[in-house]
Amino acid sequence: MPPSNPNKPHSFMETGLKGWSFEGIEDSGEYSVPRYKFKHNGPTLWLWGQIPYQLDRRFNLEERKQIFNAIFQFRELTCINFHERVYPYRDYIYIHPGESCFSDVGRLGEQQIVSLGKGCLNTSSVIHQLMHVIGFYHEHERPDRDHYVTVLKDNIDVDHVEDFEKRPFKMPYDRLPYDYGSVMHLGNTAYSANNLPTLKVRQRGAFIGRRSKHAYFSDLDLKKIKLLYACDSHYFKPQFQQRHPLLPLEA
């Protein structure tokens, strides 16, 4: 049963999202939306998987194609919809060609920057950054990761030590198995200071990291997105889905 009063807090136990609560309407503006918040320092989600984006004009045609292809993969395979910010939505992502590849996890509120440097302007890396945007951490940061990988601290570049820290709280998607093949799993020598491995698999024969820049979501990634956003539940209202066409590719 959907809650009778949409402003009344309710739990998501039914949908499997135990630990999430409903914060209520933020403002009365036309473009404001309720927020779902995780109780244990987790990220805020985007309501109904709708994420307005603005794209920096400095991306060239080929780079835009890679970004749109990533957005298209989300649209085709998940209930997440990145759509151009044609209305003044308060919360949105601004995708710009920064020095590095970077995104915060979840929805911060107001404008949040997604940086796509030269090294990550391929569809697979864009998907990785957009997964952070929708609320995903790296797979090797899971609280139970020590069963699956060994972190070789001595080989990690000092600037990236925190990329290997264990997440101190669980996410709903941690109920699904650890996934060596996730688009959110870094490779063996990621952020290495000396070209030696920074991550070692503990299961014989397991392969980590994205196989190539053509590797997109794993099957488990898709299941985890579905779980996090309760895509199949009656709470999920994809009311904006397909409302805005994918941007034409302008030079």
Q: Going edge to edge, which strands form the sheet with 17-22?
A: 11-12, 17-22, 36-38
Alpha helix ranges (H) inside the chain? 61-77, 123-134, 219-228
Q: Report the distance separating Cα 110 and Cα 88, nearest Å.
A: 11
96 annotated as ligand-binding: no
244 annotated as ligand-binding: no
Q: Report the distance separating Cα 106 and Cα 229, nearest Å.
A: 12
Pairing state between β 17-22 and 11-12: antiparallel
CB 59 within 8 A of CB 67: yes
Structure token digits, residue 206: 């397991």
Q: Report the distance separating Cα 163 and Cα 185, nearest Å.
A: 11
Which residues have a Cβ under 8 Å from the Cβ of 185 and sit 6 or more positions away?
Answer: 138, 139, 140, 179, 208, 209, 210
132 annotated as ligand-binding: yes
Which residues have a Cβ under 8 Å from the Cβ of 17 and sit 6 or more positions away?
Answer: 36, 172, 227, 228, 230
Binding region for Zn(2+): 128, 132, 138
Binding region: 128, 132, 138
